[in-house]
Every structure is written in C-alpha cells, then in structure tokens.
Chain A
Amino acid sequence: MTQNFRIENGGLINKDKKLSFKFNGKSYFGYEGDTLASALLANGVHLVGRSFKYHRPRGFFGAGVDEPYAVVQLYRNGETEPNIKATEQELFEGLEAKSVNCWPSVNFDIGAINNFLRIFLPAGFYYKTFMWPKSFWYRVYEPFIRKAAGLGVASTKHDKERYEHKYEYCDLLIAGSGPSGLASAYAAAKNGAKVILAEDKPRFGGTLLTSDVNIGNQSGKDWSEGIISELKEMPNVIVKNRSQIFGYYDHNMLVMSEKVSDHLPKTKKYHPNKRLWYIRAKEVLISSGSIERPIVFGNNDTPGVMLSSAAKEYLKVYGVLVGKKPLVFTNNDSGYETAIEFKKNGIDPVILDSRKNPSSEIIDEAKNLGINIKLSYVVVAAQGYKKVKSADVASISEDKKKLGKIENIKCDCICVSGFWTPTIHLASQSGNKTKFKEEIDAFVPGQSKQNETTLGAANGIFSLEETLKTSMEAGSELSKKITKTDNKISIPNIVEKKSSQHDKFWCVPLPKGKNYKRFLDFQNDVAVSDIEIALREGYRSIEHVKRYTTLGMATDQGKTSNLNGLQLVSEIENKVVPSVGHTTFRPPYTPVSIGAIVGREVGKHSKPTRKSPMHSWHEKNNAIFVDAGVWLRPRYYKIGNENLFEASKREAKNVRTNVGVCDVTTLGKIDVKGPDAAELLNRVYTNAWLKLPVGKARYGVMLREDGIVMDDGTTTRISENHYHMTTTTAQAANVLSHLEYYLQLVWPELNVNVVSTTEQWAGAAIAGPKSRNVLQKLFPNLDVSNEGLPFMGYAEGDLFGVKARIFRISFSGELAYEINVESDNGNFMWEKIIEVGEEFRIQPYGTEALSTLRIEMGHVAGSELDGRTIPYDNGLEGLVSKKKDFIGKRSLQKKAFVTEDRQRVVGVVPLDKKTSIPEGSHLVKDANAPLPNPKLGHISASCWSVEYDNPFSLAILKDGKNMIGEKLYVMSPLKNKVIPVEIVSSHYVDPKGERVRS
C-alpha cells in the first residue's frame, strides 16, 4: 500500500518505522512521528467528522491545538476517550479512532438533514424552536438534541489509567518553545535562573520547524535543536514537551497538563497517563505564538479548506500534501510561503491575493518560481460536498464590496490565510488588560496584572529578528533581577524575508442571488447569518452575542473564530473592534482530562482512611465496617447468617443484660493544659467548670457564637492544670480550631495549650450490668466499687503492665467504663478485655448497637446536634449556666430561641408497636390534610428498642415539651409510609438514670 499524498523526501517523521492504525474501522498505516491527522491526510482521508449543529461534512482545518473540527473518539488500551483532536494525537501502533457526532456513519449521516432544515436552526434555536408544546421538551426534543449534538461519548467504565499531580516552583516559566520561548529560556538559563520551558507539541521549535529562516548560519530548525539540547544539559532547566499550560491562576500559579503516555500504545507500568503540574513561578513568559486567522467565504467549512499554515506544517513536518491542486487564498504574505513549499515539491498552486499591488521579497520569490498569482482576487465559495472539488472565484473591487464575474477553478484544497491572531489566552486569564493593535487587526496583551510578560508573535511581533532580540532581553533582564547574575549572550545573525502589509480584509461578500453559509465558528456551526440575527434581535454586548449564538464557546474557545466574529459585530454595529471588546478567555485553554484533574485522589485515596489499633481484631472477628468521618468503625460483628438488624439487636441486648465492649478510639481527644485551663473550659462550655475536682469527669456542651450547639463530650480533670477533653468523632478537627481561635485571637491572655491527642490513645467502652466485674478482673488492685470509682469518676490503673486511664462515663445508659491506653497497646487491651470478659458473656458491639442504646436512652448525638438546634431543643437547658458568660450565651436570648412552642427532642413510638419509622420522615397532625401538609417536626434517629422489643425513634418536634402523649402521624413520601404514632418522653429506658449510677 502506498501513501498517495506523502512526498518522497522531507518531513521530520521516521520513515523507517511504519505504524498501522484504524479509523472508522478501516486500516491504514502511517509513520512514527505522525499525528493521526497527518497520517489520515497522507492516505487522502479528509472527511473526519460531522459538524455540531448541521451535521455538515468536516475535514481538517488546522494542524494542532487550533483544530476546531477533527475531534475524535480514541480507543486505547481497552479504554475510550472522547474529545481528542486528531491533529494533536500522535500515532502509535494499533491506534483506533472513530468520528463523532455522526450516525450511522461519517459518510452517511442521518443528522445531515439538519443542513437542509437549517432555516429552523438559526441562532438561539434552542430557545425558539423547542418551546412548544411544553411536554415535548423532555420526551422528544431533549433526547433528540442529546443524540444529535455532542463531541463524543465519555466512558462509563472505571478509568484504569493512573494520573499524577506535581508541584513545582521556578524563577521563570516559559509557555511555548518557538523562537521567543527558546531565546528567553536560553538567556534566563545562562543567568542561572531556575527555568521551566513547556511545549505542547512533541517537537520543540514552534514556527522554526516550518519557516524558511536562518539563525547564526543554521536553519531555524537546527538552531532550535541546538538550543534545546543545550538547555536539557543544564541542571537549572526543566524542558517539557507534550505539555500544555492551560490555566493561569492567582499569584502566578499556572497549571500544565503533561501527556506522559498518550503517544504510546499502552501506559508503562507505574507510569501515569498524564501528569498535572501546579507551577508557582516568579515570572511567567508567554511565548504561545499566534494562530492563523481564516477568511470568511461561502462554504468555507468544506473538507479541504484549511489554514495555509496548517498545509505548510503538514508538508514540512510530516511530508504530507494536503492536496495536489492547491488553491491558496490569502490577504498577506503567509499564503505565499505555503505556495512556495508546494512548488518546491513539484506541485503547482494558484494564489489568490485580495490585495491589489503587494510587493515583498517573499512575493518576488513566488513570482520567480513561476507561481500563478491572481491579485485582487478572492474565493467566493468552495464547491464540493464531502471534499473540495473546485472554487468559485472572482475579482474584487478595491473597497471590497463588489465582486467581478464568477469563474470556477478546479482544485482539491483551499489554503486560507487571513493574517495572524496572537494567542493571548494565558495573558488574558492572568488578568492582563488587553489592547487592540490596529496594525495587525488583533488584540495583544496590555497592562500586566501579575508578573507576566508576553513575547514574540503572542505579543503581535511577527519579525523573527525583533522577536529574538526582545525575547532574549526579557529573559536576561527578568532572570538577572532574581539571580543577580548577568551573563551576556550575543544575538545571532538572522536572515529572514521581509513581509509586506496585510490586507484588512476578512469576509468575502455574498454574490447576488447566492445564500452560501459562511462560517465564523467552525466548531459550533456559527455562521455570519447567525450573528446578524442575534444583532437584529437586539443583542448588543459581545458576551450576550456569544451566549446566544455559541460563538467562541466549547473546547475551541474561539481560537480561530474570535476576531472574525468581532469584526462582523463591529461592522454591523458600525463600531470599531476595540469598543466591541472581546469575550473573556477562560481556562482551560484546551480540554483537560478529568482524570488528570483528579489525580491520585480516586477510590480509596479520595480521602485518608484511619483505622483504630484494634482494626485487625475487628476484621478477624467478622466486623462489617462503616465510614465514620475519615475513620473505619465496626458497624456490627456478624455471627453466622445474621444481617445488620439481627446482629445489632443481639449486640445491644447483650449490653443491656450482660456486658459489651465497643471500640471508641475514634472519639476526638484534646489535651488542655495550663494554669488557665479551667477558665478556658468555663468559657467554652455552657456549664460550670471552675470547681471540677481532680479525678472527676463532667459532660459539657459547647455552642457556636450564634447559640447553636457545636459539639458535646466529657472532659476529665487529670491533674491540677491538665484536662482531657473528648469531642464527637466528626467534630474533632473543628473543635480544635475553635479552641485555637479563642486562645490565639480572642483571649490571648489565657495561659493554656491545646493539642490533639486523638491518635495517641486507643479507647474501649465496657458497658452493661456486668461491666464492673470485667473491670475488676482487668484491674485487680483497683477499688472499682461504686464508692471507690463513682459515676463520672476517673482513675489510673495498671492493665497487666500497661498504663491505663479509666473513666466511668456512659453513652449506652448502662453502668459503663471507658479505658484508654497508649495506641500501641490498644490491641493488647482489647484482647485482655475479651479474654477476662468471657465468663461474663462479653461481646463486642458496633456503631449500630451503640446507636440503639443511646437512642432508647434519649442521649442526643449528631443527628440531633445537627447545626440547627440550641441546648433547649436537645433537653440540655439544665446544663446552661445562668451565672457565668460563655461562647454563644448572648444568642440564646434571641426571640426565636425563647418562644413557648420551641422545638424539642421527644420520643416516638408507632401505635402498632411494629412498623419501623424511617429516619428523616415528617411528623404531621393530620395524615389527610391537603398538601403541603404542615410539618410539626422530623424523625432524627430510629432504632428497634431492645428493652421493649418495638420500634422507637427520636424526633425534633415543635412544642415538644407539651406534646407528650399526643397522637400524630409520621409521613414518609419517599418510602410511601404513613404511620400513626404516639409521642413519648425521649428517655424511653431508665428515665431517672439509675443504671449509670448503680
């Protein structure tokens, strides 16, 4: 098989290495160094996709990041990825890609009927056409549009690829390795600055790879290769290809996506697919170059119409002819350079130049080569459906309003050059106030907001000599300020051909009686007529025009369309372009894989997993775990075929009748030390703390300043100036920050230190009527009697040689103790408890049983302390001191907090004593009241009471205090349940609290 469009000699590809690939199911081959685009073009394939709205056939328009059409779905390594630009995707052995936005195939696309229905699809058609009948939107229109539009399909499978994040700091970050990037990087590197040079393409050099210039007696390409290899050797320089800087954020933070494996058939083991770099740079040099601007004419989206710079790049870099009968349509000298390259390869191009009488060295060279040049000529329309077959051309008057007689020229491609648009995306993202430069009809960066400098073509400088000179100066000056080193380098001798002035001409008028589509935005199918409609309908702001017509949106971000769109608006509005202004450039500059943004923080790694020291024991004993904040806690321990309900009931029952042990390591623990520790606690908690004796614990509630309960827990006075505070598992970090806030900012005079000790202590709660027996066995020498270690007492003991803290506190409402040992001894403690507890029928219990026990005792927890309740709501008003001030106290006087019918926690029992009550259900007075049925409260927590063997719930109920004994209804539309219930005291079991004190 031969490649009809590949030239014999030339190109930078490796012709010794053939690569086979598939496109739309058909096999082709290309060479190492090809992109998917260049390989397809070498095989004469121009039709790659269908357009977004009209499903018109589309080919290749660019040769890199500017490509608006050739977006394909890629299949690699068993995965599929949408939104891949064929012009950026490097070829590898076995590559498979398919066209998107076409069905059933790119050659025969049913959606193309839209092209003939286009009268119904004008600007804003979403808002107009699909409005009626209303019910059709969800059933008919939306599914149809979803199928018809779009640029590929995201994989629904788990992404097996690995993505990495990297943080880097440097003196100078340089975006783009064209002449300006290389010159500035070289100058800065020579001054010893830490430099990162990033190039989005696989090859360094930018336009030096394709332009006919000479630097220091070498070709541009050879000079760039020399500089790059020298930079690579320098320890202070990082040189990265396949790396796109796509976002410029605050404080000179830029983000770069490096394609590590995309060009390989398969990602190497332990290698990432992509690496996202977060780079903080002292100075940023933007050398992102420029993108050629199209000229607008009829059917300018036909496959075969492409940028003249792209045609030149395909030829010089890939050795590919985009056509054998090329027509070059230009308003400046760049088109001539492309024509000259064709001619040098034995192809006869025709140049149409809109200018009347241009003259320059380049034009002279074209003339000398005998190229057919037609001056004051334009392409009126491309002809051909799936590929350009010919062009309707005509002469044009000097005012560019009148066309001469239309002639038809046979051609197989039309290479367009409408001059150059500096790539100012990064500068604009950084906050740079851009300005319009008349000489080049484009915006360039103006006043910098951050430490950013734009160089070369991106700054509107198109002469190589000036670019190299200014870029070297910038690199040298900026680095000198940082490194205080000034190693002068000399500017090499440069030979380039001088260009003549471009023609301020961008849109070919329609000939009489013709209604060709003239596209501005190729990716989003926005034509001249769409902008005209938007303006006719009253849209004025360019931002509104953009949103109404979709001009400059999506992955393309207006790379090729922006300026022509502005030109049109300014022309119709009779304004100058700078007063129309441009729309905001937003990151990312090009699409970035979601996987790269997420990095390694997927699955198990999306948050840290914390395990208690007893975790492996739980595992060995069939614990089923549940996430509790960042911790894994046993939810229940499965015996035989038990389910959650059966197991938790058994565990809770065993606590009520015998004794259970629960891992409470996850509770937040904070060491509070210092002479003013008691004073701090007294200000933080609602109750009094100044008189708590050493060796005693106290339950406390802390509020936010707005009076809402923040957290609760017990705090124990270990010694004179040392307290051990516990918090709930979820609030541990917030409580520490809260204490630090008051100590550092509000009451710095308090002499107190706080530090988290959550991970230093392992904790076990032993609960149940027989817990004292277990404790005695663990600490034979300790007086564990009710007098020796009373409720809320604290003791220190020796647990088989291990130092232990013993707290007589209870969450279950039973006689209970909590033992803490240093984390390393946690598992030892746990095994000892199980061992000595065996004769008392001890069983471990998980969080589910723990919940049951606390719910039926009416102990409030996270589901009641939900950030919306005050102490009264939780029945905790008895803990609110009237005598002293504390955080949030003043808020409790607020009117809404002292109303008579204030919400309050109550117990709820179903009348049939059988039906379980779903958490989150609403309480209502009348189940049959018309909707919306007034809500009196909600169910905060539900359990199956093991004491009474029936369902029991806690609820936060309006006027809960006076509702005891009332009959209400629980409604759960989600579960489709209506349950008649009785309101009872929240203290369902042992209301007097006798057990904990027994």
Chain B
Amino acid sequence: MLYINCPHCGMRSQNEFSYGGDASVIRPLLEKEVSDKEWDDFVYNRKSLRGKHLELWQHIFGCRQWIKVERDTATHEIFRTFKADEEFAK
C-alpha cells in the first residue's frame, strides 16, 4: 500500500485516496475548435508509461483535494507531490 504525502494533510495511506489518471493531460479550452485527433488524445489516448509518471489522486477520505503525484509506475517510488494549482518542474 502506497504512502502518499498529501500537500495539505501530510503522509497518508493509499486507502484514503482515489486514483485519477495522468495529470499531464490538459483539457482543451471551452468553445475552442478541436480536431478529432486532439480530442481523442484528450479523452482516450494515454501513454501507460513505465517509469516516472505525473498522476492525479484525490484525497477522498481526507481534505477532498485533487493532488498531483510524481510516481514511478514500475517501482512505486513517489518522488514529489503537488497541490492542484502548484507548478511543477519537469
């Protein structure tokens, strides 16, 4: 079970969180013309990386905040966590 540092609450076990997928996906702006490919990339196409992955988790049984977690998908090592609005350096 992962041990995740919620930037709002501190170290908490995985069972307080729910997983939210790839955090690097950016929703196209509203009212903007979007090509089929752009839209499919946003809705469906994910890389399923092996290695460092920036992903979303929601602290659903805690502060209910969505957070960003930089995690290695192979080793489960967590490098850093961010608040939803926090910038991260690649």
718-741 of chain A: CB within 8 A of chain B: 737, 740-741
A744 to B66, CA, bound (A): 7
Tell me if A15 counts as interface (CB < 8 A to partner B).
Answer: no
Tell me which of A74-82, A245-253, A399-407, A476-484 binds B: A245-253
CB pair B66 A280 closer than 8 Å:
no
CB pair A741 B58 closer than 8 Å:
yes
Tell me if A449 counts as interface (CB < 8 A to partner B).
Answer: yes
Within 8 Å by CB of B3, from A280, A431, A745, A890, lies A280
Q: When A741-B66, A748-B85 are in contact, do A253 and B60 touch as well, CB less than 8 Å?
A: no
Tell me if B34 counts as interface (CB < 8 A to partner A).
Answer: yes
Within 8 Å by CB of A745, from B28, B30, B42, B56, lies B56
Within 8 Å by CB of A737, from B3, B28, B58, lies B58
Q: Please name the residue on chain B nearest to A736 by beta carbon.
A: B64
Q: When A252-B3, A748-B84 are in contact, do A740 and B42 touch as well, CB less than 8 Å?
A: no
A881 to B75, CA, bound (A): 46
Question: In the complex, what residues of B have CB within 8 A of residue A212's CB?
Answer: none
Tell me if A891 counts as interface (CB < 8 A to partner B).
Answer: yes
A683 to B30, CA, bound (A): 9
Question: In the complex, what residues of A have CB within 8 A of residue B89's CB?
Answer: none
Q: How many residues of A are counted as interface, with CB atoms below 8 angstroms from the partner's CB atoms?
A: 24
CB pair A251 B2 closer than 8 Å:
yes
CB pair A253 B3 closer than 8 Å:
yes
Q: When A705-B42, A741-B20, A891-B39 are in contact, do A250 and B27 touch as well, CB less than 8 Å?
A: no
Question: In the complex, what residues of B have CB within 8 A of residue A251's CB?
Answer: 1-3, 76, 78
Tell me if A831 counts as interface (CB < 8 A to partner B).
Answer: no
CB pair B43 A740 closer than 8 Å:
no
Question: In the complex, what residues of B have CB within 8 A of residue A249's CB?
Answer: 1
Tell me if B18 counts as interface (CB < 8 A to partner A).
Answer: yes
36-57 of chain B: CB within 8 A of chain A: 39, 42-44, 56
Question: In the complex, what residues of A have CB within 8 A of residue B73's CB?
Answer: none
A457-487 near B? 1/0 per residue, CB < 8 Å: 0000000000000000000000000000000
1-27 of chain B: CB within 8 A of chain A: 1-3, 13, 18, 20, 27
A687-725 near B? 1/0 per residue, CB < 8 Å: 000000000000000000110000000000000000000
CB pair A891 B2 closer than 8 Å:
no
CB pair B27 A746 closer than 8 Å:
yes
Tell me if A278 counts as interface (CB < 8 A to partner B).
Answer: yes
Most buried by A among B1, B20, B34: B1
Within 8 Å by CB of B1, from A250, A745, A746, A885, lies A250
What is the CB-to-nearest-CB distance from B57 to chain A, in angstroms, rounded to a whole number? 11
Q: When A740-B64, A745-B66 are in contact, do A885 and B3 touch as well, CB less than 8 Å?
A: no
Question: In the complex, what residues of B have CB within 8 A of residue A683's CB?
Answer: 30
CB pair B84 A745 closer than 8 Å:
yes
Question: In the complex, what residues of A have CB within 8 A of residue B87's CB?
Answer: none
What is the CB-to-nearest-CB distance from B69 to chain A, in angstroms, rounded to a whole number? 12
What is the CB-to-nearest-CB distance from B47 to chain A, in angstroms, rounded to a whole number? 18
What is the CB-to-nearest-CB distance from B34 to chain A, in angstroms, rounded to a whole number? 6
Within 8 Å by CB of A740, from B3, B66, B78, lies B66
Within 8 Å by CB of B84, from A449, A744, A885, A890, lies A744
A740 to B78, CA, bound (A): 24
Q: Please name the residue on chain A nearest to B38 by beta carbon.
A: A890
CB pair B43 A891 closer than 8 Å:
yes
A737 to B30, CA, bound (A): 20
CB pair B31 A885 closer than 8 Å:
yes
Q: Please name the residue on chain B nearest to A748 by beta carbon.
A: B85
A885 to B32, CA, bound (A): 9
What is the CB-to-nearest-CB distance from A265 to chain B, in angstroms, rounded to a whole number? 36
A443 to B28, CA, bound (A): 54
What is the CB-to-nearest-CB distance from B77 to chain A, in angstroms, rounded to a whole number? 9
B74-90 near A? 1/0 per residue, CB < 8 Å: 01101000001100000
What is the CB-to-nearest-CB distance from A889 to chain B, in angstroms, rounded to a whole number? 9
Q: Please name the residue on chain B nearest to A884 by beta carbon.
A: B31
A68 to B56, CA, bound (A): 46
Q: Please name the residue on chain B nearest to A249 by beta carbon.
A: B1
Question: In the complex, what residues of A have CB within 8 A of residue B76's CB?
Answer: 250-251
What is the CB-to-nearest-CB distance from A867 to chain B, in angstroms, rounded to a whole number? 15
Question: In the complex, what residues of B have CB within 8 A of residue A741's CB?
Answer: 20, 58, 66
Question: In the complex, what residues of B have CB within 8 A of residue A884's CB?
Answer: 31
What is the CB-to-nearest-CB distance from A137 to chain B, in angstroms, rounded to a whole number? 38
Question: In the complex, what residues of A have CB within 8 A of residue B84's CB?
Answer: 744-745, 748
Q: Please name the residue on chain A nearest to B34 by beta carbon.
A: A890
Q: Please name the residue on chain B nearest to A888 by beta carbon.
A: B43
Q: Please name the residue on chain A nearest to B29 by beta carbon.
A: A885
A251 to B15, CA, bound (A): 13
A250 to B27, CA, bound (A): 32
CB pair A737 B60 closer than 8 Å:
yes
A650 to B85, CA, bound (A): 56
A705 to B43, CA, bound (A): 7
CB pair B1 A253 closer than 8 Å:
yes
Question: In the complex, what residues of A have CB within 8 A of residue B60's CB?
Answer: 737
A262 to B60, CA, bound (A): 38
CB pair A449 B75 closer than 8 Å:
yes
Question: In the complex, what residues of A have CB within 8 A of residue B34's CB?
Answer: 890
What is the CB-to-nearest-CB distance from B79 to chain A, in angstroms, rounded to a whole number? 13
Question: In the complex, what residues of B have CB within 8 A of residue A449's CB?
Answer: 75
A326 to B27, CA, bound (A): 77
What is the CB-to-nearest-CB distance from B52 to chain A, in angstroms, rounded to a whole number? 16
Question: In the complex, what residues of B have CB within 8 A of residue A748's CB?
Answer: 84-85
Question: In the complex, what residues of B have CB within 8 A of residue A706's CB?
Answer: 43-44
Question: In the complex, what residues of A have CB within 8 A of residue B64's CB?
Answer: 740
Q: When A253-B1, A745-B84 are in contact, do A885 and B30 touch as well, CB less than 8 Å?
A: yes
A885 to B3, CA, bound (A): 39
A891 to B13, CA, bound (A): 36
A252 to B3, CA, bound (A): 9
A431 to B76, CA, bound (A): 11
Question: In the complex, what residues of B have CB within 8 A of residue A705's CB?
Answer: 27, 42-43
B60-72 near A? 1/0 per residue, CB < 8 Å: 1000111000000
A83 to B34, CA, bound (A): 61
Question: In the complex, what residues of B have CB within 8 A of residue A737's CB?
Answer: 18, 58, 60
Q: Please name the residue on chain A nearest to B64 by beta carbon.
A: A740
What is the CB-to-nearest-CB distance from B60 to chain A, in angstroms, rounded to a whole number? 7
9 closest residue pairs by CB, A with B: A251-B3, A885-B30, A744-B84, A744-B66, A250-B76, A885-B31, A253-B1, A890-B39, A746-B27
Provide 10 A-B residue pairs closer than 8 Å at the C-beta atoms, listed in order of the A residue: A252-B3, A253-B1, A278-B1, A449-B75, A705-B27, A705-B42, A737-B60, A740-B65, A746-B27, A885-B31
Give me the interface of A with B, judged by CB distance under 8 Å: 167, 249-253, 278, 280, 431, 449, 683, 705-706, 737, 740-741, 744-746, 748, 884-885, 890-891
6 more contacts with CB within 8 A, not counting A250-B3, A741-B66, A745-B56, are A251-B1, A253-B1, A431-B75, A449-B75, A705-B27, A745-B84
Give me the interface of B with A, judged by CB distance under 8 Å: 1-3, 13, 18, 20, 27-28, 30-31, 34, 39, 42-44, 56, 58, 60, 64-66, 75-76, 78, 84-85
